[in-house]
Each structure stands twice: as structure tokens, then as C-alpha cells.
Amino acid sequence: MSWETVIGLEIHAQLSTESKIFCGCATRFGDEPNANTCPTCLGLPGALPVLNGRVVELGARAALALGLHINNKSIFARKNYFYPDLPKGYQISQYDQPFSANGQLEIMTAERDDAGHPMEWRPKTIRITRLHLEEDAGKNVHEGLPDVDRYSYIDLNRAGVPLAEIVTEPDFRSSWEAYDYVNHVRRSLQWVGASEADMEKGNLRCEANVSVRRVGEEKYGTKVELKNLNSVRFMQRAIEYEVARHIKVLESGGRLTQETRLWDDRAMETRVMRSKEEAHDYRYFPEPDLQPLIVSEQFVEDVRRAMPELPETRRKRFGEQYGLSYADASQLVSERSLADYYEAASEASGNPRATANWIRTELLRELEANNLSAADSPVSPHELGALVRLIDEGKISGKQGKDVLVEMFKTGKPAQTIVEEQGLVQVSDTGEIDALIESVIAANPDQLANYRSGKEALFGFFVGQVIKASKGKANPKVVNERLRAKLN
């Protein structure tokens, strides 16, 4: 009998504010330990929290980008636990009245083949349970060897940095669905400027709850929570590892325990961190030092109006307005700067489909090789558009265009300048092309005989030879026409 995977995800995203959520300290990363602290984020007696308005605005952007409803009233609550990096002895979070709840997020997802390539993209709706606002804890830093000269330090620069916690229902049925969801959320948050959402920098952290059940069974199985997932790919692998482990235990008649496990990306396995018995009872209660957070309809409307067009809306529009395929459109909206680049370039070229092609095949390769985003491209969208236009107008060939683009990328010069400097012109002159055709035919009598006796595929051979003889300058369209006239 086969098994079904069930996954629910919890994401913590750092909101991109300059100052912390309840005090004026900087959120800057990489400063001297404890440089960015004050009585409030150190948890000193008598210090009071004051909510940072920018957190509410970015939280609202995040919620709207994920299609969530924003509650008119939410309540901050104390989540009590004792840990060295939590000086107050509690974290200010939200509990039964969160900032935002009840979302239905449509993502695009695909299973992957053995080589990791997506198979068939399909839409899937994920229910988002809630998005709440909270503060981050500090960091414990350990140095030296255990039992020899081990020192532990506490850095509270991160204490009080604003987070949005985003929790889903257990709606994922495969590790790839979870993978595609996290990427979707990351892009959405970056797109609207709510968070940098970079897992490597730790400003987006993800926990996966995983269980399995027999296909057809309604009741969920025992879940395990996975932590320490440092990239989306590691999360996907950790889930796969965990699912296989669950199935093995259950099929050999064993039982699973509800526990938290850590992913070890060197050993490529998960290990127990703590069991359910060690789980905290947080004794939540409303934070007495903060008012309920009231968010008006007008505020939500203002935030909504200030937001850029969202990626999925833009993808659909690219399909309808420019006739792009799903694959083209979705790649072009993978980042906001790329989507902006595309629209500017296609306006300059007057040929949206060709522009999409040039960006996807040629420009992105150069950008990736140089580790640049579209916003930092040495070739401006206007110049890429001009290049596409030169090819469209038959001034240079597509093949020449590729070399020109590489040169534009290297030198930053406009397409027209490079074309002039290198004396590039596409030969469309029928007299010149006819002469080339004559010499190619004369040099290949066997192929000619075979072609005439019915091997029509050889037509392509002749086209290729003529273009080669012209050093890539012959206009392929004219070559085709003249060859056909000559041979038939």
C-alpha cells in the first residue's frame, strides 16, 4: 500500500526596517556585538516597548503580497520561555489574535525528474493559516572546544529585530510543492520590499512539519518538525529524508514520536533535537505594555495602492499582452528587476517576443556568468531593444547579433557603434548571394546529385554552406529563397 506525504510550513521573514520593532536601535547586520542595543531590547526593568509604524506597513505589504486578509485588530502577546538570548524571559509575539490570517495562495508547482528538471507545471492552492508580527531573539555564540576551553557569548544585536511569521495549513503533498512555495513566498516578499528574504543571510528561516499517512486515510500521521534548514534545497532534501524514514519505521511495525529534528547538511540526515515531552508551555498572555494594534481599512487601501503589480498578475499580463509562453513569462517575472528590464527593452525593440527570447537565451547567460542581476546589467534595456531592432530590420544577422551582444556586455558600447566599428552588415544583396550559391554548388557535386535524386534534407546543408561561405553575413531568408529558386 502506498503512502502520502503531508507537510505544513512555518516561515520567519525579517522585515526590512532600519530600526527594531519596539525600540529605535539599528537592525544593521555585522556591527560589533551588542553595539545596537538599548534598555528596551536588553530587557532592562522599567523599559517600555513602542511599536515601530514601519513594521506595520511592511507587515501589511507582506500580507497583501500573499493574498491574506489583514485583521482590523490584533493583539501582541508574551510568549514565555527562558533562554540566554532572550533577556526579558519572554518574546513579544502574537497569539490568538494575529495581524493577518486566512489566505488562499495559488502557487505554480512541478515535480522534478531524476536530473532535477521540472516536469509539468500546475497551479496549487495553499491555505495560509496566519501571518503574525513578532520580535527576534539574540544570538548565542560558542567558541573553543567543548570541555576544554569553551566560551559562550551573547550578542543581542538581533534581539528585537522585526519578523513576520507565516504559517500554512498542512497542504503540501510533496517536498517539491514545499520547495516551490518557499520560493514563491521569497520572491513575493522581495518583490514588494517587505523582506530581503535571503536564506543564506538568515533573514528568511523555514521550519517544515512532516508526516505520512496511507493513501485514502483521512487522519494525519504523527508529525516531526524539521529545523536548521539553511536553503530551500536543503529543506527539500530534509523532507525527502524524513519521509523515507517515516515510511521505513511504519512499514517495519514501529511507531513515530512527535519531535523536533535538526537537518545536518554534511551528513545529509536529520537528528533528534527534542521530543514532545520537552516541548515548552509558553503560557501566552496579552502584552500589558502595548495597546491592541488597530489597522484601518484606509491604511490597508493606502498600502495596497502603493504596491507594485504583483508577480503572478504580471506573469498573466505578459502572456496576454505580449503573447509570451508560460515558460517565457514566468522566467521574466522571477525577479522584479528582470520584469522591469524586459518591459523597457521590449518597448524599445517593438518586438516583445523576440526580446523575450534574447533576454532568456543570451542576456541571462551573460548576467549569470557575471553574477549580476538585470538591474546591474552593463547593457541597458534600451540598448538591448536597439539590438533586437537591428536584427529585425535585417541590418545584421541573428548570429552576428549574438557576438554583438557579448561585445556590448564587455564594453558597454551601444549596438550601433559595435556594428559600425566591426563593419558588420548583413548581406541581402541577391547578386552577392547568388555568386556564393554558385560556388557552393560547384564545390559539392555529390550532395547536389543526392539532393536532386530526392534527399531533400540536404537543402539545409546547402543553406549552411552558403552562410558559412559568407562568414555568417548572408541573410538566411534571402539565402533560402535564392537557393530554392536555383535548386528546384
Least distance in angstroms from the C-beta of 223 to ligand ADP: 4
Which segment (45-53, 80-88, 209-217, 414-422) binds ligand ADP by CB under 6 A? 209-217
List 14, 94, 168, 331, residue binding ligand ADP (CB under 6 A): 168
Q: Confirm if 332 and 364 have CB atoms less than 8 A apart.
A: no
38 forms part of the interface with Zn ion (CB under 5 A): yes
Site string for ligand ADP, 220-249 (x = CB under 6 A): xx-x--------------------------
26 lines the binding site for Zn ion (CB under 5 A): no
- Determine which residue in the list 13, 15, 21, 41 makes contact with Zn ion, applying CB under 5 A: 41
Site string for ligand ADP, 410-449 (x = CB under 6 A): ----------------------------------------
Question: Helix 381-392 crosses helix 336-349 at what angle (to 10 degrees)?
Answer: 40
Closest CA to 15 of 160, 286, 182, 196: 196
Residue 10: name its binding partner from Zn ion, ligand ADP, none (Cβ under 5 to 8 Å by kind).
ligand ADP
Name the β-bridge partners of 123. 108
Whole-number Å distance between alpha carbons of 380 and 376: 9
Q: Does 212 bind Zn ion (CB under 5 A)?
A: no
Give the range of 39-47, 143-151, 210-218, 478-486 binding Zn ion by CB under 5 A: 39-47
Region from 84-92, 219-227, 408-416, 441-449 binding ligand ADP, contact rule CB under 6 A = 219-227
Q: How many CA atoms lie within 13 A of 259 on its CB side?
A: 14
Question: Which SS3 state, helix, strand or coil, does residue 248 take?
Answer: helix
Residue 7 or 60 with smaller CB distance to ligand ADP: 7
Applying CB under 6 A, among 40, 175, 188, 209 the residue interacting with ligand ADP is 209
Residues 87, 43: contact at Cβ < 8 Å?
yes
Please tell me the count of residues contacting ligand ADP according to CB under 6 A.
Answer: 15
For residues 463 and 452, what is the distance between their CA atoms, to the nearest angstrom?
Answer: 15
CB-based contact 181:199 (threshold 8 Å): no
Report how far apart, in Å, the C-alpha atoms of 59 and of each of 100, 125, 132 are.
Answer: 9, 22, 8
Q: Which stretch binds ligand ADP (CB under 6 A): 115-123, 195-203, 215-223, 334-342?
A: 215-223
Tell me the closest approach of the beta carbon of residue 41 to Zn ion, in angstroms.
3
In degrees rounded to 5, what are phi and psi of residue 232? -65, -35
Q: How far is the CB of 15 from ligand ADP (least distance, A)?
A: 20
Binds ligand ADP by CB under 6 A, chosen from 18, 31, 169, 376: 169
Instruction: List the single partner that 38 binds among Zn ion, ligand ADP, none, CB under 5 to 8 Å by kind.
Output: Zn ion
Phi, psi dihedrals of residue 125, rounded to the nearest 5°: -100, 130
Cell 537557393 sits on residue? 483
Query: Is 461 near ligand ADP (CB under 6 A)?
Result: no
**Among residues 168 and 195, whose Cβ is nearest to ligand ADP?**
168
Closest of 72, 64, 55, 65 to residue 16, by C-alpha: 55
> Minimal CA–CA distance to 86: which of 45, 124, 47, 135?
135
Measure the CA–CA gap between 418 and 422, rounded to whole angstroms. Answer: 6
Q: Which is nearer to ligand ADP, 169 or 429 (CB)?
A: 169
Backbone angles phi, psi at 482, to 5 degrees: -70, -40
25 versus 303: smaller Cβ distance to Zn ion:
25
Alpha-carbon span 379 to 126, nearest angstrom: 39
Q: What letters, b where the CB count within 10 A reaches 16 and e where it falls short, cover 316-325?
A: ebbeeebebe
Q: Does 25 bind Zn ion (CB under 5 A)?
A: yes
Regarding 159 and contact with Zn ion (CB under 5 A), the answer is no
Question: 41 is in the binding site of which of ligand ADP, Zn ion, none (Cβ under 5 to 8 A by kind)?
Answer: Zn ion
Phi-psi region of 27 (alpha: psi -120 to 50; beta: other; left: phi over 0): alpha
Pairing of strands 69-70, 122-135: unpaired
- Amino acid symbol at 333: V
* Binds 381: which of ligand ADP, Zn ion, none (CB < 5-8 Å by kind): none
- Residue 21 binds Zn ion (CB under 5 A): no
4, 10, 264, 403: which one binds ligand ADP (CB under 6 A): 10
Summarize as ranges the residues that interact with Zn ion (CB under 5 A): 23, 25, 38, 40-41
List contacts with ligand ADP (CB under 6 A). Answer: 6-10, 167-170, 209-211, 220-221, 223
